[in-house]
Amino acid sequence: MKPRSNLVTTFLVAFSICLTFQLTALSEMEQPASAKVPTVQALKVHPEALTLEHARDGRRVLVSGKTKSGTWVDVTPWAALTPTTAGVKVYEDGYIFPMAVGTTKIKVTVKGISTELPVNVKSMDAPPVSFVRDVMPLLSHAGCNNGTCHGAAKGKNGFKLSLRGYDPDFDYELLIEDISGRRFNRAFPEQSLMLLKPTSEVPHKGGQVIVPGGRDYEIIRQWIAEGVIPDVHTTKRVERLEVIPDSAELTTPGMRQQLIVIAHYPDGTTRDVTREAKFTSSVNEVAKVTDDGVVTAERRGETAILTRYEGAYSTNGIIVMGDRAGYKWVKTSEYNYIDTHVHNKLKRMKILPSELCTDEEFVRRIYFDLTGLPPTPAQVRSFLSDTTASKAKREKLIDALAETSEFVDHWTHKWGDLLQSNRKFLGERGIWLFQQWIHQAIAENRPYDEFVRNLITATGSTYTNPAANYFRVSREYTAAVENTTQLFLGVRFSCNKCHDHPFEKWTQNQYYELGAFFADVRVKPGQLAGDEVVYANYTTEPVKHPRTLAVVEPSVPFGEVGSETDDKREMLAEWLTSEENPMFARAGVNRIWSYFMGRGIIEPVDDIRTSNPPTNPELLDALTKDFVDSGFDIKHIMKTITRSRTYQQSIITNKWNRADTINFSHAVARRLTAEQLLDAIGIATGSRPRFEEMPKKFRAVQLPDSKVKDDGFLKLFGRPERETSCECERTTEVSLAHAMNLINGPTVAESLIDPEGRIAQLIQTNHDDRILVEELYLATLSRLPEKNEYAVAVEHLANAESKEEGAQDLLWALINSPAFLFNR
C-alpha cells in the first residue's frame, strides 16, 4: 500500500467511487449483531407529536433514552412501536403510515420503560403520484439503475436507465417510448411489464426487487393507473436534505445512532426519505452506517456520514469519544487565532497538544519549510546563540527567511510543479521564461488572485507573456477545465466529464458549461522558433454537450459571473478569483497550510468535496477570511501559520494526542522531498550535485524542469514529472530502492569523498576531533551533538583506519539517519 494515502482518504474514496454493489454488500455484512440494549430510565421521542398529511406520508421517529448517568442516548433500534388504535400502522422498517383520519397514539417501549407518541392523521387522500418524486427514487432504491443493472452504459437486457437516475428526462423517455404499450397497461396496471418484471411474475434476471402489493408496488400501480404522467419539467426535485440529528457524539464503541432524513422540496412540502437515502461513512474504522441509517461507533475518532438522496447531499459529523477518563485540558499559550481554533477542537476531542519544539528543531524545520533547504552550520550557530527570547527570535527568523532568494526559488519550484512547467509542453526556452515569470511573481509577493488572473486570462506570445504557457499546457478546453478546477478550486472535475459526479453535486452539464469559457482559446506557432501564441479564435466550433450535441453556453457551476464582456476568460477569471467565491480562497489557503503542516485541513487538498469535510471548519474559515482580508497575501498567510504555536509543536506526542492524525495536535515528520534531500546532502557534504548543462552551483530546486539529467537520484526519490496538476504526482515514500541508494548509491558515496567537500576541508583545517564531530552534526541534524553522541563519534574516529575514513563513516551514518531524512 502506498504510504502516502492515509486511511481517511482511502476509505472515503473506496466508499464513494466504487460501484453500488460494494456498498450494499458491505453494509449487509455489517448488520448489527447483538449489541447490548442500554438500560434507560426515561424515554423521549422526536418529534414529540407526529402529523401525517396524507395516505402516503410515512414517517419515522427517533427514540432517545436517559441513562443512569443522566445522558440521553439513541435507543431507536431497540424501541418497540405499538399503535393503540387501527388509525396508524407501523411497518417493520420503522415507518409509521396513516390508516384512518383522526388522532391516535403509539406506545413506545424500550426494556419495560414506555412513553406515548400522539399522532394526527390529517387526510387519507392519496395525492397523484409524481414520476420525479415518487417513481424515480423508488427505482433507485430498488437498485434498478445501478451500474451493474439497467444503469450500465448499455443497459441490461434491452432496458436502459440513466446511472443512478441522474437524467430523469432520459429515463422517462426511455420508459415510455421504448416498446410503448408493453411496459405500461393503463387499463390493467397490474399487467404492465413495469410491475410484472420487478416482482418476478415474469422472468427477471435481477430477481424480485419489488413485493407485490407492497408500498412500492402501490406507487407504481397508481402512477400507471393515473396515466403514466411525466412531471419531469414541472416538478422540482429535492431542494435540501435535513438529517436528524445534524451531528452526534457517541461515547463508547458499539453505541448506535439512528439517522432520519427529511427531504425538503421547493414548494415547502417535506417527506421522510430515510429508507431511500444512501449513507456512507467517511471513516469506517470510526463508525459504520447501515442502509437503514443506523450509525454504530467502532473506535475513537471522527467521521462524517454522507447522506445522498436524489442528487441532494448532506454531510454530518460523528464523534466517537471513547474512554477519556482522567483527561483535563492544560492551559496552553495561543500565539494567534490558529492556536485558538486548533485548541478549541482539541478540547472538544479531549486531546492535549504537544510541547513546543526546541530551537534546534525549529531552525531546521523553518529553513526547510520556507526555503526548501536546511540551515548551514553557521546559520544554526547564529540562531542558537541569539539571546533574544525564543518566541521573538523565531518570528525574527521567519520574517528574515521570507525575504531570501532561497524562499523565492523554493516557491517558484513548487508552482513550477503545479503549473506543469515541463519542456515537453513548453519547449526548452519556454521553461526558462516561465520559471522567470513565476520567480518574478513570487519575488514581488504578487497577490494570489492577481497571479491566477494573470494565468487564466493570458494571451499572446508565450515568450513575451509567459503566463500564456498556462494554455500551452492545457491546450484543450477539457484540460483547461480539469486543471483550473483542480488547481484553484481544489475540485476534481474529471469525474463529471462523462457523467454527473456520482456522489457529488457536480454535473456533466457544468463541466461543459465551464469548458465553454475556454472554447475559443487557440494556440498557434509564433514568429520565433519554439514560441507559441495564445489567441482567441471566435470562429471555432463551440463546445457541445457530448450526449445531446447541443451547443453549451458558458456558465459557472455556482455563484454568478459579473457583467458580460467579449473576453469570456476575463469573465471567468473575475468570478474565479473573486472574494465572493467561497471556494477559491479556501482551496488556496488549505493548500498553503498543507505545505507547512503535512496535511490539509481538507485532505487531499485538491479533492475538496462534500464527502470530504474539513477536520476543523472554524480554522479553515478563519484562515480563509484572513487570506481574503489580507488581499490574498500568500506571504502573510505563510508567516501567520509558521508563527503559530501549532506549527511550532514538537513531533513528540503525549498520552492524549498519540493517536491523533487530523487535528494538528503535534508536528508530523515528513520525508524530505527529492530536491530537498539532494540539496541537503549537498550542504551536509559540501559537495554540490552536478546537473547536465546547468551552471555549476545550481541547486536541485533551481532546475527548470524534470528533464535535466542528474545521476537518477531525483527521479528515484519522487520528483514529479510535471505532467499533471495533481499534488499526488510527487511521492515521498521510502522503499528498498531508496535505502539501497542512500547506503550504497553514487550520490552520497561520491559526495562523501569529494576532495573539495566538507570532510576534506575539515580534515585539512582542523585537528580537534570534537570540532569535527560538532560540524558534522550541525551540517546534518542542525544541532550540536549530545554528550554521549560526542563519545560515540570520537571513539569511532579513533578506531577508524584513518581520521578521514572515520569522518566519512560518521557523515554517512548521519545522512542515513531518519533525523536527517525527515523534516521534523
Partner 1 sequence: MLSLPQLPGRLCDGFSRREFLRVGGAAMLGISLPQVLSLQANANTTVDPAKPLNGWGKANSVILLFLQGGPSHLDIWDPKPEAPSNIRGEFNPIPTNVPGIQLSETMPRLAQQMDKACLIRSVSYTPAGLFNHTAAMYQMVTGETPDKVAPSGQLDPPSPADHPNAASHIANYRPPDEPMLAAVQLPRPMQESNIIGKGGNAGFLGRAYDPYFLFQDPNEEINLDDLSLRPEVPPVRLKRRKNLLETINAGMPEIDKVADSYALNEYYEKAYNLILSQRARNAFDLSQEPDGVRDSYGRHTFGQSALLARRLVEAGTRFVQVNWPSVANGDPNTTAWDTHATNFGPLKNLHCPKLDSAVSSLLEDLDQRGMLDDTLVLAIGEFGRSPRMGISTSGNSNAPDGRDHWPYCYTGLIAGAGVKGGQVYGKSDATGSTPLENPVHPRDILATVYHTLGIDPHTIVYNHLDQPRELVKGEPIAGIF
Window 156-175: residues binding partner 1 (CB under 8 A): 156
Contact 682, 751 (CB under 8 A): yes
Residue ranges in 402-489 assigned as alpha helix (H): 405-418, 423-443, 448-456, 469-473, 477-484
Which residues inside 277-316 make contact with partner 1, applying CB under 8 A?
285
Comparing CB distances to partner 1, the nearer of 76 and 657 is 657
Quickly count helices (H) and strands (E) in the chain. Answer: 29, 24
Asked if 1 interacts with partner 1 (CB under 8 A), we say yes
From 107-115, 172-180, 223-231, 718-726, span contacting partner 1 (CB under 8 A):
718-726
What three-state secondary structure class fits 106?
strand
Among 58, 65, 87, 143, binds partner 1 (CB under 8 A): 143
Is 525 exposed, middle or buried, given 0-12, 13-18 or 19+ CB atoms closer than 10 A? Answer: exposed
Among 240, 733, 798, 802, binds partner 1 (CB under 8 A): 733
Comparing CB distances to partner 1, the nearer of 149 and 263 is 149
Strands 247-250 and 312-320: parallel
As measured in angstroms, the least distance from the Cβ of 743 to partner 1 is: 5
Contact 490, 583 (CB under 8 A): yes
Which residues inside 603-622 make contact with partner 1, applying CB under 8 A?
604, 607
DSSP for 351-392, written as a single string: --PPPBPPHHHHHHHHHHHHHSSPPPHHHHHHHHH--S-HHH
- Tell me the C-alpha distance between 490 and 608, whole Å: 5
Which residues inside 401-460 make contact with partner 1, applying CB under 8 A?
424
Which residues inside 2-31 make contact with partner 1, applying CB under 8 A?
2-3, 5, 7, 9-10, 12-14, 17-18, 21-22, 24-26, 28-29
As measured in angstroms, the least distance from the Cβ of 186 to partner 1 is: 27
CA-based nearest residue to 278, from 313, 235, 247, 251: 313
As measured in angstroms, the least distance from the Cβ of 322 to partner 1 is: 16
Among 269, 565, 735, 802, binds partner 1 (CB under 8 A): 735
Among 202, 697, 736, 755, binds partner 1 (CB under 8 A): 736
What letter would DSSP give residue 73?
Answer: E
Which residues inside 525-564 make contact with partner 1, applying CB under 8 A?
none
Comparing CB distances to partner 1, the nearer of 506 and 822 is 822
Is 640 exposed, middle or buried, given 0-12, 13-18 or 19+ CB atoms closer than 10 A? Answer: buried
Among 527, 744, 764, 765, binds partner 1 (CB under 8 A): 744
From 124-132, 463-471, 543-551, 710-718, span contacting partner 1 (CB under 8 A):
710-718
Which residues inside 50-79 make contact with partner 1, applying CB under 8 A?
none
Number of neighbouring beta carbons within 10 Å of residue 570? 16
Comparing CB distances to partner 1, the nearer of 151 and 588 is 151
Contact 772, 762 (CB under 8 A): yes
Comparing CB distances to partner 1, the nearer of 458 and 814 is 814
Comparing CB distances to partner 1, the nearer of 249 and 711 is 711
As measured in angstroms, the least distance from the Cβ of 279 to partner 1 is: 17
As measured in angstroms, the least distance from the Cβ of 741 to partner 1 is: 7
Among 236, 723, 770, 802, binds partner 1 (CB under 8 A): 723
Asked if 716 interacts with partner 1 (CB under 8 A), we say yes
Comparing CB distances to partner 1, the nearer of 7 and 101 is 7
- Tell me the C-alpha distance between 614 and 735, whole Å: 31
Longest dimension (CA), the chain: 106
Is 2 exposed, middle or buried, given 0-12, 13-18 or 19+ CB atoms closer than 10 A? Answer: exposed
Among 114, 148, 390, 436, binds partner 1 (CB under 8 A): 148
Grid coordinates representing 623 are: 484562515
Comparing CB distances to partner 1, the nearer of 288 and 350 is 288
In the block, residue with C-alpha cell 483527561 = 327
Among 457, 741, 751, 782, binds partner 1 (CB under 8 A): 741
As measured in angstroms, the least distance from the Cβ of 146 to partner 1 is: 6
- Tell me the C-alpha distance between 559 and 409, whole Å: 36
CA dihedral 132, 138, 143, 145 (to 10 degrees): -20
Asked if 731 interacts with partner 1 (CB under 8 A), we say yes
Grid coordinates representing 31 are: 448488520
From 65-73, 402-410, 637-645, 722-730, span contacting partner 1 (CB under 8 A):
722-730
As measured in angstroms, the least distance from the Cβ of 495 to partner 1 is: 9
Comparing CB distances to partner 1, the nearer of 337 and 812 is 812
Which residues inside 760-799 make contact with partner 1, applying CB under 8 A?
786, 788-789, 792, 796
DSSP for 755-775, written as a single string: TTSHHHHHHHH---HHHHHHH
Kindly state the helix (H) or strand (E) to which residue 460 belongs, with its residue range: strand 460-461
Among 170, 721, 790, 794, binds partner 1 (CB under 8 A): 721
Comparing CB distances to partner 1, the nearer of 33 and 736 is 736
Which residues inside 491-520 make contact with partner 1, applying CB under 8 A?
492
Comparing CB distances to partner 1, the nearer of 283 and 318 is 283
CA-based nearest residue to 678, from 628, 617, 741, 753: 741
Grid coordinates representing 592 are: 498553503
Strands 88-90 and 247-250: unpaired
387 CB-near residues (< 8 Å, 6+ apart)? none
Comparing CB distances to partner 1, the nearer of 764 and 799 is 799
Grid coordinates representing 217 are: 408496488
- Tell me the C-alpha distance between 291 and 94, whole Å: 13
Among 392, 498, 740, 771, binds partner 1 (CB under 8 A): 740
As measured in angstroms, the least distance from the Cβ of 343 to partner 1 is: 23
Asked if 746 interacts with partner 1 (CB under 8 A), we say yes
Grid coordinates representing 543 are: 463546445
As measured in angstroms, the least distance from the Cβ of 499 to partner 1 is: 14
Contact 421, 460 (CB under 8 A): no
Which residues inside 615-654 make contact with partner 1, applying CB under 8 A?
651-652
Asked if 724 interacts with partner 1 (CB under 8 A), we say yes
Comparing CB distances to partner 1, the nearer of 461 and 724 is 724
Strands 670-671 and 822-823: antiparallel
Which residues inside 184-223 make contact with partner 1, applying CB under 8 A?
205-207
As measured in angstroms, the least distance from the Cβ of 680 to partner 1 is: 15
Which residues inside 664-693 make contact with partner 1, applying CB under 8 A?
669, 671
In the block, residue with C-alpha cell 485532505 = 603
- Tell me the C-alpha distance between 778 and 509, whole Å: 58
Contact 131, 172 (CB under 8 A): yes
